[in-house]
C-alpha cells in the first residue's frame, strides 16, 4: 500500500510543478530530508538526524524533526532555493512529517 501512495504522490508532484522537490524519509530511528533537482537527478541540500552537529542528547523525536526542518530550510536557502514542492512520500501528513514541514516553512521555505 505504501508503495502505491509513494508513486501516486511523486507522479502528481512531477506532473504539476517543476520546482525542486523536498523529500522526506523516516526510519524507526532516524529522519532524513533532501532537496532534489529532478531535471538533473542531483541532491542539492540534505539534512538528517545522523549528522554529527545535531545533538544526539535530544531524545524526543518531535524536537529532532523540528531541528531537521530548520536545517534543511537554512541549507536550501543558502543555495538560493526558496520554493520547493513537498514530497511526503509514502507517509501521511501528520506527526513527524508535519512537524518537519512546519519548521521548514517557519524558516522561510515556500511550499
Strand order in the sheet with 31-37: 42-48, 31-37, 20-26, 84-87
CB 69 within 8 A of CB 33: yes
Tell whether 111 is covered by a domain. Answer: no
Q: What confidence score (pLDDT) does residue 81 get?
A: 94
Q: How far apart are CA 60 and CA 49, in angstroms?
A: 12
Map residue 33 onto helix, strand or coil: strand
What percent of the chain has pLDDT above 70?
A: 97
Q: pLDDT-based confidence at 79, cuts 50/70/90?
A: very high
Which range of residues forms the domain containing residue 42?
A: 2-106
pTM: 0.88
Q: What confidence score (pLDDT) does residue 60 get?
A: 87
Tell whether 38 is covered by a domain. Answer: yes
Q: pLDDT-based confidence at 6, cuts 50/70/90?
A: confident
Q: Total domain count for the chain?
A: 1
> Residue 30 maps to which CATH number?
3.30.420.100
108: which 3 cell numbers? 522561510
Amino acid at each position: 500500500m505504501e508503495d502505491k501512495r509513494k508513486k501516486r504522490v511523486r507522479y502528481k508532484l512531477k506532473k504539476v510543478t517543476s520546482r525542486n522537490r523536498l523529500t522526506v524519509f523516516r526510519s524507526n530511528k532516524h529522519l532524513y530530508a533532501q532537496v532534489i533537482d529532478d531535471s538533473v537527478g542531483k541532491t542539492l541540500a540534505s539534512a538528517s538526524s545522523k549528522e554529527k552537529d545535531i545533538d544526539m542528547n535530544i531524545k524526543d523525536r518531535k524536537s529532532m524533526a523540528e531541528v531537521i526542518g530548520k536545517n534543511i530550510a537554512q541549507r536550501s536557502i543558502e543555495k538560493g532555493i526558496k520554493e520547493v514542492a513537498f514530497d511526503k512520500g509514502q507517509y501521511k501528513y501528520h506527526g513527524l512529517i508535519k512537524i518537519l514541514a512546519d519548521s521548514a516553512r517557519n524558516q522561510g521555505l515556500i511550499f
